[in-house]
Structure formats: C-alpha cells, structure tokens
Chains A and B, each alone.
Chain A
Amino acid sequence: AQSVTQLGSHVSVSEGALVLLRCNYSSSVPPYLFWYVQYPNQGLQLLLKYTSAATLVKGINGFEAEFKKSETSFHLTKPSAHMSDAAEYFCAVSGGNNFNKFYFGSGTKLNVKP
C-alpha cells in the first residue's frame, strides 16, 4: 500500500524567501512520486515527478524536489518565492499494481507575504 504525509497544512513565507514543502511517503514497492499545484476552484497542475530516474527532479516555475530513499522523503523546494506561488500543493505517490492510480497527501497551503 502507498501513502504520503505532508507536514504542515499551512506554510507562510515572504516573497523572495526559500520555499520548503515537506512530503514523506510510505510504499512497499519502489514508488513514483509527484507534486501538484492547485489554484482555487481549479484542477491540478503537475509541477514535477520522480519515476525512478534522477533523484533530483526539476519542475516548472523553478521548483525542484529530491527523492531520498533513506529518509522516504520527497520535499519540494524553490529558492525564491513569488507571489504567484501562493496556492495549495499536493504530494502524491503511485506504484504497486498500478502506477497511474494516485494517493494524495493532505495538501499544504502556501501563503506568500509581500
């Protein structure tokens, strides 16, 4: 079975500051891991994904994440926050008998202060 835990339901940073959103996973098989962003009343947009290739994954809008097997983590970072980054972020895991079926974390709402 797969699951993810996102620590911190709300994160607040100043514009220009480092963004760090935490995600830890649990999986009995090598996982695929994803970060999605959701703006109010919209669907999900893929930021980046890890599918067993390079452990440091670069995504869109300057985001990146590193897969650390020893820590079962896949934290999302961005060096410098922008006001437009304010949104809800979801970490997801897939694997096992179906790599296309996702299990999402509870989400982290990112607030960016001017």
Chain B
Amino acid sequence: KAGVTQTPRYLIKTRGQQVTLSCSPISGHRSVSWYQQTPGQGLQFLFEYFSETQRNKGNFPGRFSGRQFSNSRSEMNVSTLELGDSALYLCASREGGYGYTFGSGTRLTVV
C-alpha cells in the first residue's frame, strides 16, 4: 500500500509569491489534514478535509487555503508569502479512528 505522497519535497520562493503544495493520501483514506512545523511554533494544525469538505481550520490567516478533490487528493495554497511561512508542511491521512499516516513533507523556504 503506497504511503502519503507530498510534492514537491523542497521549494524556494520569494516573498510575495504564492505556492501550491500537493498531497496524495493513502488509497481509501478520505480524511486529509495539513500541519505546519517550525522550530519556534512546533507542529500546528492548518486544516482538515473530508470528502471534499473542510471540516476544521486552524488559527492561520486567510492567506492559507486548501482544497480536496473527489479522489481525496488535497492541495494547500499560500498566497503573498512571508519569510515566516518558511516551514516544513506535513500532510496526513487517515480512515476511521486510527492513527494518522504522514507524508515526508514539503520544505518551503521563503527568501
């Protein structure tokens, strides 16, 4: 069974640009969550999607958005990038009340 796949692995963007990150969950998993990890703030919840609907959103500005497609693949978008958006972005999927399976993450650097 393939794991959670995140693309790209690394990304360098300039302040003010926008970025789109992609996540393919484990086949059959309908819940996809996104987390941001930084040295200062640790792991923080961004949002969670289930069957194309956003069910939960973390405490992030509106520049952070996401969506889920009918095949459960998810994308997150960050517009007007700031230096503080530099982080490891992790996607996770699960089905049922079990633990989450995380992808390897996308390392975003904003310069």
Do the two chains belong together in a single complex? no
Q: Which residues of B are interface residues toward A (Cβ below 8 A)? A: none
